Amino acid sequence: MSFTERTVVVYGEEALARLARSTVAVFGLGGVGAAAAVDLVRCGVGRLIVTDFDAVQESNLNRLVFGFTDTVGKNKVAVLADAARRINPKAEVIENAAFLRGVDAAQHIPEADCHLDAIDALNPKVNLIIGLIATGRPFLSAFGTAGRRDPTRLAVADVWKTRGCPLASFVRKRLRKRGITARFPALFSTEPPVGPVDNPDAADDGRGRVRKLQGSTPFVPQAAGHIAAWWIVERLLKKGTDGR
C-alpha cells in the first residue's frame, strides 16, 4: 500500500509518475507556502526546493501547517523537510535558509519545473517576480491572506485584474515603475482585510516606527496554500502532455 493510493485513483499512474519526477520551488513558508509545500509532497511531487530564512514562532501556530509547540524555534525549511520525509521517505527537499534582500532575490531562483512565490515582503517579492518572469517557467504569485476570515473569497486571476488586495496593488505599481507589463497568475482574496493593531511588544525600528500586529486566521492562509498546490499540480501535468 502506498501513501498515494487514493491520489492515483483521481490522477492515474502515469500522472503520479510524472509528479514524482517533478521539481517545485517554493519561496516563503508562511501559512500559504507551508500548506502548499506539504500538499505537494502529499500529492507525490518528488523534489521540493524551499526558501525561507525564518524560524517557527509561537505566533505562527494559529495557521502554520507544521506549527506545533515542539517546532517553535526551529528553522522552517528544516521543519518542512522533516515533515516531507515523514510523509514520503523518498521525497527530496533542498533547504535554502537565505533571506531574500530585495535586489538579490532573483539570484536565489533555482532550476525547477514550477515555482510558487509566497513571500509577503514587498521589495523581495517584486524582485523575485521579475526574476521568475525572466525564467520563462510557470509560476504562481500568492498575495495577502492576513486579516481575512472568508476562504471562499480567494481567487486566481491575471495579476493586472486582481481587485481588493492592497499587496497586489503595491506590487503592480512597483512593476510598472520597473517597466514590467508581463502577465502572470496571482492568488488573492477579494475580501477587505481587517487592519493591523498596535503591538505593545514590538520594538522601535530605529526610525521612530513600531511594527503593528497583523491578524490572521487558520482558514484563509491554508486554503490559499491548497489552491496554490492544486494550481501547480495541474501545470505540472499539463506540461507533461503538451511537451513544454
Phi, psi values for residue 222, rounded to 5°: -70, -35
> Measuring CA to CA, which residue among 214, 161, 213, 215 is closest to residue 188?
161
Query: How far is Cα 82 from Cα 58, in angstroms, rounded to an integer?
Result: 19
φ, ψ for residue 169, nearest 5 deg: -65, -45
Class of the CATH domain delimited by 5-242: alpha beta
For the chain, count helices (H), then strands (E): 7, 7
Q: Which helix (H) or strand (E) holds 41?
A: helix 31-42
Whether 144 and 189 have beta carbons less than 8 Å apart is answered as yes
Threshold 0.85, pTM exceeds: yes
Domain ranges for the chain? 5-242
SS3 string of 106-172?
A: HHHCCCCCEEEECCCCHHHHHHHHHHHHHHCCCEEEECCCCCCCCHHHEEEEEHHHCCCCHHHHHHH
pLDDT lower than 50: segments of the chain? 205, 242-244
pLDDT of residue 107: 84
Q: What is the pLDDT of residue 210?
A: 59
